[in-house]
A and B are shown apart, each in its own frame.
Chain A
């Protein structure tokens, strides 16, 4: 059975049945080539001749990759254009797309950095990488929660609520027990509580899963907001000063240039998120549990016929998803801040976007979360150098990217076949 288990839903779905000259690859190629040429012209014209420096540290010091602003903007724009043109060969699509996007972004950065106020013509790469990963952490947890749920056929729109409940429970119990670890456990239970409601109402009472997710988000928002005002605001010291996990350095790995200081002098939650991606990936595609989960998500009737307990498996996976999302929520309150009302602020929906953009796979979700995290961090950076690009438009990027993805412009996105459909034995 191991041979079968490695065939994922995407691999079946992506089999291209395209006829005619204008394949998807060629269409995207035209768009990318046009964007590249446009970048070369526009960004090249706007860029100044200041040297754009990408420093390999946290500030302007140390070694750096330097390039003349105008030259860089034109060069990288043309690289993107060439990658787009190369798509006409109809081969290496993912790689060319990657090169094209990176080229476009670098062209944009050359313009922005060279155009920055004097003395700020540099981008500290360590900061950027670190920020990208830190901002991606809750997204990774949230998207993994989505993977666990949706692979077994339960739509999880309640990620936002699970994160929020996790953050709240972590702060409350962590403060009262004066222990970050107990707070972490409480956060997992908090997330699982939202999941339990989702599971009971969608699996037992057959309530529409999207409806239930939306309602649970509001319930979590109201519940945490209410208890925040009743308890936490009246007695901060007793209920809302959670202990925080410090940063942990990993020996040897922390000495790798750029990646070392950015990734391996970090905190528990980042390590946990990265390990979880690996664990979920292996579990989903290499274990019996994973095969059953995917079969329940694709064709529950067939799985039932073969003796898989469909509903039991769905309950278990939805609860597990709540635990994962709850821990992700704790990364807000057990790391830096104390709890505030509505502190997740839509990150759960970006996690949902990452899940969809990453095509319901753990590794895809990781990459999508990092991409969205980078967009977020880029917004912070551009704000710091007084860029004319409004941060709001960068904040829109994850959502727009997801819309483009589900519209089929960046490859076929397909959910598990039974995702969202309740299973009624009979």
Chain B
């Protein structure tokens, strides 16, 4: 029953070309399911847009008399919304033609990509955090709390310690990682020491962190003295990540850091001793213990590293271009989104990075969809949740589309350990 952690260990030996090709075809199932899941989610999202639009629904009142009107109106509102989603996340054709004809600037062409990458960055970190813990057999629902503690320490280092530019940034990032690591250590330690289930403890610690954040923001020396609302002092510019494409575009060096960290996590998982032990413990703790691996020590280090990753994601929210000060909602939903990203990325480091890119694009496009087509940004949350639901149940997607491939690339997340 709880054997569903198959396919964790990637092949270590060299594959022949034929094997590699077959492997790729087999993996294509994963890609197929992912694409179809996105399509299904968009279809359901379209239905939601239609039924929640009183004008369009009015057309359905005389559907039998003039079906064309209703269908045309439905098509217009949905295609308009999804066109905005695309224009806001990938590229706006109008901006490109303006640029070619010399009327527009290059910045407008790259603005959507810049926004997408800006939203992608923190999700890579939290997604990796959840994925790494998953591989070690732990379900880290606490990425949200770890990101919150990370953002607190990063911001404090960012405006309380005066340091020269580059060093200040490094110190702030390390402080963020440290904060997350501390918050990850607690459930890891409790799991190792008392067997307390990490799912329960990480959920609880999320809220402890949130209340701590709302408390610390309004303390003297932390709160912005010019403001009466709950906002901290801004992080010094010496602790800010540099922007990559000039001051008008928000994309910042965090995305480079995210790629490096993805590479690092991939190395850690697949090439290092700790990674081997981590995967062994994730697959079968009892066998690992018999083989001489310290399961408890592995649990603690997994959670510390996962926490540090989430903490980095949190730090990104104040040293990047998203915000420069603490507010109660400064980390938004990045921790919870990280869970979805990890699942969508099949708990593999590069898969997580790609999944984060998709989620970042949805989020960036959602902003445009809200401002241009006045479709609430909440639709993006719905789409993200639906995508992951379909991903998590590949059997359902296959049934809907009558796919023949029986050997489903089953999601390896069914840890199914309960509490």
Interface string of A184-219 (1 = CB under 8 A from B): 000000000000010001000111111110111111
- Please tell me if A19 contacts chain B, counting CB pairs below 8 Å: no
Contact A155 B418 (CB under 8 A): yes
A283 interfacial by beta-carbon distance below 8 Å:
no
Q: Which residues of chain B have C-beta atoms less than 8 A from A222's C-beta?
A: 378-385
Interface SS, A side: helix
A205-B396, A219-B389 as given contacts; A406 in contact with B379, CB under 8 Å: no
Chain A residues whose CB sits within 8 angstroms of the CB of B415 once the complex forms = 208
**Cβ-defined contact, A221 with B381, below 8 A:** yes
Q: Is B30 an interface residue (CB 8 A)?
A: no
- Residue B222 at the A interface, CB < 8 A? no
Cα–Cα, bound, A235→B418 (Å): 43
Q: Does B401 contact A (CB under 8 A)?
A: no
As a 0/1 sequence over residues 145 to 163 of chain A, the CB contacts with chain B under 8 angstroms (1 = contact) are: 0000000010101000000
Instruction: Decide: A211 and B413 in contact? CB cutoff 8 A.
Output: yes
Distance between Cα atoms of A418 and B53 in the complex (Å): 45
Taking the closest CB of chain A, its distance from the CB of B322, in whole angstroms, is 20
Determine if A419 is an interface residue (Cβ-Cβ < 8 Å). yes
Q: A399-B208, A419-B419, A420-B418 known; A218 and B196 CB under 8 Å?
A: no
A211:B343 contact, CB within 8 angstroms: yes
Known: A212-B392, A406-B201. A226 touches B382 (CB 8 A): yes
Known interface pairs A392-B212, A420-B418; A403-B396 also in contact (CB < 8 Å): no
> Which of B141, B190, B210 is in CB contact (< 8 Å) with A210?
B141
Give complex CA distance A215, B384 in Å: 9
Which of chain B's residues 363-380 have a Cβ closer than 8 Å to chain A?
Answer: 375-376, 378-380
Cα distance A227–B379 when bound, in Å?
9
- B211-A205 in contact (CB<8A): no
Residue B80, interface by CB 8 Å: no
- Given known A-B contacts A231-B52, A415-B419, A392 and B393 have beta carbons under 8 A apart: no
B49-75 Cβ-contact flags toward A at 8 Å (1 or 0): 000111000000000000000000000
Are B194 and A215 in contact (CB-based, < 8 A)? no
Q: How far is A215 from B336 in the complex, measured between Cα atoms in Å?
A: 9
Write 12 A-B pairs (CB below 8 A) sorted by A numbering: A153-B418, A201-B396, A208-B414, A218-B333, A222-B385, A223-B382, A231-B52, A349-B206, A392-B212, A399-B205, A403-B201, A407-B194
Within 8 A of B (CB), among A212-266: 212, 214-219, 221-223, 225-231, 234-235
Q: Please, what's the 1-or-0 string for B321-349, where 1 marks a CB less than 8 Å from any CB in chain A?
A: 00000000000010010011001000000
**B259 to nearest A CB, angstroms?**
26
Given contacts A402-B200, A421-B416, contact A396 B207 (CB under 8 A): yes
* Residue among A222, A353, A396 having the largest count of chain B Cβ atoms under 10 Å: A222
Q: Shortest 7 CB-CB distances between A and B: which pairs?
A: A420-B418, A222-B381, A225-B378, A219-B385, A229-B376, A222-B382, A415-B419
B378 touches A403 (CB 8 A): no
Question: Of residues B48, B206, B207, B215, which shows the largest number of chain A Cβ atoms within 10 Å of its Cβ?
Answer: B207
Report chain A residues within 8 Å CB of B205.
399, 403
Bound complex: CA A205 to CA B390 (Å): 10
- List residues 305-338 of chain A with CB under 8 A from any CB of chain B: none
Residue A423 at the chain B interface, CB threshold 8 Å: yes
Contact partner of B2 (CB less than 8 A), chosen from A221, A225, A346, A421, is A421
Interface centre among A205, A221, A406, A418 (most CB of B within 10 A): A406
How many A-B pairs have beta carbons closer than 8 Å: the answer is: 171
**Shortest Cβ distance from residue A343 to the other chain B in the assembled complex, whole angstroms:** 14
Residue of B nearest to A230 (CB): B52
- Interface positions of B (Cβ within 8 A of A): 1-2, 4, 48, 52-54, 139, 141, 190, 193-197, 199-201, 203-208, 210-212, 214-215, 333, 336, 339-340, 343, 375-376, 378-386, 388-389, 392-393, 395-396, 411, 413-419
Closest beta carbon of chain B to A201's beta carbon, Å = 6
Residue of A197, A393, A407 touching B196 (CB-CB under 8 A):
A407
For residue B197, which residues in chain A have a CB less than 8 angstroms away from its CB?
406, 415
Contacts of B212 in A (CB 8 A): 392, 396
One of A215, A353, A403 near B340 (C-beta < 8 A): A215
Restricting to A341-370, which residues have a CB under 8 Å from any CB of B? 341, 346, 349-350, 352-353, 356
A349 to B336, CA, bound (A): 14
Task: Flag if B381 contacts A215 (CB, 8 Å).
Answer: no
A interface size (C-beta, 8 A): 58
Residue A36 lies at the interface, judged by CB distance under 8 Å to chain B = no
**Cross-chain contact A396 with B208 (CB below 8 angstroms):** yes
The 8 Å CB contact of B417, one of A214, A406, A420, is A420
Shortest CB distance B152–A (Å): 13
Task: Kindly state the separation between the CA atoms of A418 and B267 in the bound complex, as whole angstroms.
Answer: 36
Extra contacts besides A352-B203, A356-B419 (7): CB < 8 Å: A215-B392, A221-B381, A223-B378, A392-B214, A402-B200, A406-B196, A407-B201
A380 at the interface (CB under 8 A from B): no
Contacts of B214 in A (CB 8 A): 392
Check A421/B379 contact, CB under 8 A, given A201-B392, A396-B212. no
Bound-state CA distance A374–B150 (Å) is: 31
- A408 and B381 form a contact (CB under 8 A): no
Q: In whole angstroms, how far apart are the Cα atoms of A289 and B39 in the complex?
A: 42
A399 touches B392 (CB 8 A): no
Distance to closest chain A CB from B407 (angstroms): 16
A155-B418, A219-B385, A415-B418 known; A207+B393 contact, CB < 8 A: yes
Chain B residues in 8 Å Cβ range of A408: 194-196
> What separation, in Å, do the CA atoms of A402 and B53 have in the docked complex?
44
The one of A205, A217, A346 that contacts B395, using a Cβ cutoff of 8 Å? A205
Q: Does A422 contact B (CB under 8 A)?
A: yes
Residues of B within 8 A of A402 (CB): 200, 204
Chain A: CB-nearest residue to B399: A205
Q: Given A222-B379, A400-B208, is A209 in contact with B413 using a C-beta cutoff of 8 Å?
A: no
Task: Kindly identify, within residues 382 to 423 of chain A, every residue whose CB is under 8 Å from any CB belonging to chain B.
Answer: 390, 392-393, 395-396, 399-400, 402-403, 406-408, 415, 418-423
State the Cβ distance, B221 to closest chain A Cβ, in Å: 15
Contact B215 A390 (CB under 8 A): yes
Q: Which residues of chain B are near A279, meaning CB under 8 Å? A: none
Contact of B419 among A155, A206, A353, A407 (CB under 8 A): A155
Determine the distance from Cα of A228 to Cα of B211 in the docked complex, in whole angstroms: 27
Q: Which B residues are in CB contact (< 8 Å) with A407?
A: 190, 193-194, 196, 201
A424 in the interface (beta carbon within 8 A) = yes
Q: How far is the CB of B299 from chain A (nearest CB, A)?
A: 14
B204 surroundings in chain A (CB, below 8 A): 349, 353, 399-400, 402-403
Q: Which of A209, A219, A226, A420 has the most CB of B within 10 A?
A: A226
CB-defined contacts of A155 to chain B, threshold 8 Å: 418-419
Residue numbers in A under 8 Å from B199 (CB-CB): 157, 210
Instruction: Determine which of A216, A353, A390, A421 lies in contact with B1 in the assembled complex, contact meaning CB atoms within 8 Å.
Output: A421
B30: min CB distance to chain A, Å: 16
Complexed CA–CA distance, A77 and B382 (Å): 51
Q: Are A201 and B393 in contact (CB under 8 A)?
A: yes
Q: How far is the CA of A209 from the CA of B384 in the complex (A)?
A: 18
Residues from chain A with Cβ under 8 Å of B395 in the complex: 205
Given contacts A209-B418, A399-B204, contact A219 B386 (CB under 8 A): yes
Chain B residues lying within 8 Å of A225, measured Cβ to Cβ, are: 376, 378, 381
A349 near B386 with CB under 8 A, answer no
CA distance A287 to B385 in the complex (A): 38
In the bound complex, residues from chain A placing their C-beta under 8 Å from that of B417 are: 420-421
Residue of B nearest to A227 (CB): B52
